[in-house]
Amino acid sequence: MTREIEIEAKNLLTKDELYRLQHYLSIEDNQFVTQTNHYFETSNFDLKEKKSALRIREKNGQYVITLKQPNEVGLMETNQIVSKEEAEQMIETGKLPDGEVKVDVKALSVPLNQFTCLGSLTTSRAEVTYKNQLVVLDISQYFDIVDYELEIEGTSIEEVNSLFEDILQQHNIPKRPTMNKIVRFFERKQQLQSF
């Protein structure tokens, strides 16, 4: 189990912008690794009310439950490695396995027995270190959407934002308001349900 503070800047890209950045950062196609996020929420959206999110990430045969919640700077992430069986049971039943994530969800006063898996988002992700920051290019697929995204992650808001602004300006990419993947996922799910 780990707890870490996530400081990042992100921007949605066009397909062409992603390919330009991929070329600029010397990222080969085979450097993209596939991961799938399975998102959980209660029927009353109790986590959303707390500006929090819960997922299982499946990557390279490993399963990690992550609770993201607001922090003074960035987001606080609580990560818990679970077995394939525990992950599959949570996806099927919504029941959280014992551990730090369950403890932290309980501390948010969110009912533990009301979670359901709302669906999955699959991302092809490439990561490189550039100017001492983590630069991430994502191609995400969920429902009928494919989107492209740049993320910069680091330990200082100032350094992350500085590199973020430099990359956008240098490559003539407009700054676009970009919500987290889980928010984009939920918004598209709600749009599809309202048809």
Question: What confidence tens digit (pLDDT) does each residue in 5-37 have?
Answer: 778 999 999 999 999 999 999 999 999 999 999
Q: Over the chain, what is the mean pLDDT?
A: 94
pLDDT digits (tens, 9 = 90+) for 106-117: 999 999 999 999
Instruction: Give domain 2-193's CATH architecture.
Output: Beta Barrel (2.40)
Of 190 and 88, the structure prediction assigns the larger pLDDT to 88
pLDDT grade for 155, boundaries at 50, 70 and 90: confident
| Per-residue pLDDT tens digits for 168-188 | 999 999 999 999 998 899 899
List the domain boundaries for the chain.
Answer: 2-193
Residue 38 near residue 56, CB atoms below 8 Å: yes
